[in-house]
Amino acid sequence: MPNELLIIEDDADIAESLHYNFKREGFRPVIAESGEKGLRLALDEKNPPALIILDLMLPGMSGMELCRRLRREPLTEKTPIIMLTAKAAEADKIAGLDLGADDYIVKPFSVKEVVARVRAVMRRIEKDEIQRYEYGSLTIDFADVRVACAGADVKLTRKEFALLTYLIKSAGRVATRQNLLDNVWGYSYFGDTRTLDVHIRRLRQKLGDCGNCIETVVGIGYRFIEVK
């Protein structure tokens, strides 16, 4: 069955363009013109969306507030959310990602780019369900806690392995420094973010030729990219 896609966007032209293109790509897109309607459709237990495209500038309930609400609900706490907004400031991007968005696209945008971003997020979801990752020279066995690059074993500490695992299962999207600290070190961690940067540097060094799979997103955090 095609994937259910919820588009929460009050601009009729943008919403219809996204609806048309995603339908062509095999999705079953549904449009909500307001945050309230989007919340109601997102929490439909009989037909929950596989992914949500969320505009931030909505009438009534804002996109930020809606994202916050969705992340508190058990039904949608893990549902991928891609934000659309005219706000291009770094602080706005960080705020959206820290709320739990999986990706952030600034208007004006190419519809083809949005489709590509959605497919990238959907591939990440599929990776979350597997016990083994293989691409190019990098191989990871999540069950046995083993990593290899070009056939050679890579010895990682438990923290380094947890960090790599989180980045891989977030592949294609930016993981902010705060998200990494919260999810790898724990919500009780209040230390310096330089600890994270040191671990990333050591992780890249240990991965050797595979280390360039970890990309630095200046001022925000890190992103795992698939490289052969």
Which H or E run contains 118?
Answer: helix 111-128
* Total residue length of the chain: 228
**Are both 123 and 136 inside the same structural domain?**
no
Which is more confident, 192 or 41? 41
Tokens describing residue 78: 């893990």
Q: Which amino acid is at 6?
A: L
Residues 134 and 110 in one domain: no
Same domain, 154 and 219: yes
Q: How far apart are CA 36 and CA 81, in angstroms?
A: 16
Q: What is the pLDDT of residue 1?
A: 40
Angle at 6 between CA 9 and CA 68, to 5 degrees: 75
169 lies in the same domain as 77? no
Distance in angstroms (rounded) separating the CA atoms of residues 159 and 165:
10
The CATH number linked to 190 is: 1.10.10.10
- Domain finish residue from 88, 108, 127: 127
Predicted pLDDT of residue 223: 92
Where does a domain end: 96, 127, 158?
A: 127
We report the CATH number of the domain holding residue 18 as 3.40.50.2300
Domain that holds residue 215: 130-224
Q: Are residues 42 and 30 in the same domain?
A: yes
Give the tens place of pLDDT for each residue, 96-124: 777 778 888 888 888 888 888 888 777 76
Domain closes at, from 110, 127, 144: 127
- In this structure, the answer to whether residues 8 and 93 fall within a common structural domain is yes
Residues 181 and 197 in one domain: yes
pLDDT of the residue at 189: 56
Is residue 121 domain-shared with residue 212, that is, in the same domain? no
Query: Do 77 and 13 share a structural domain?
Result: yes
Q: Do both 29 and 114 map to the same domain?
A: yes
How many domains, the chain? 2
What tens digit of pLDDT does each residue of 13-41 get?
Answer: 999 999 999 998 888 999 999 999 999 99
How high does pLDDT run on average in the chain?
86
Do 153 and 56 lie in a common domain? no
Same domain, 25 and 92: yes
Q: Is 202 helix (H, G, I), strand (E, B) or coil?
A: helix
pLDDT at 156: 92
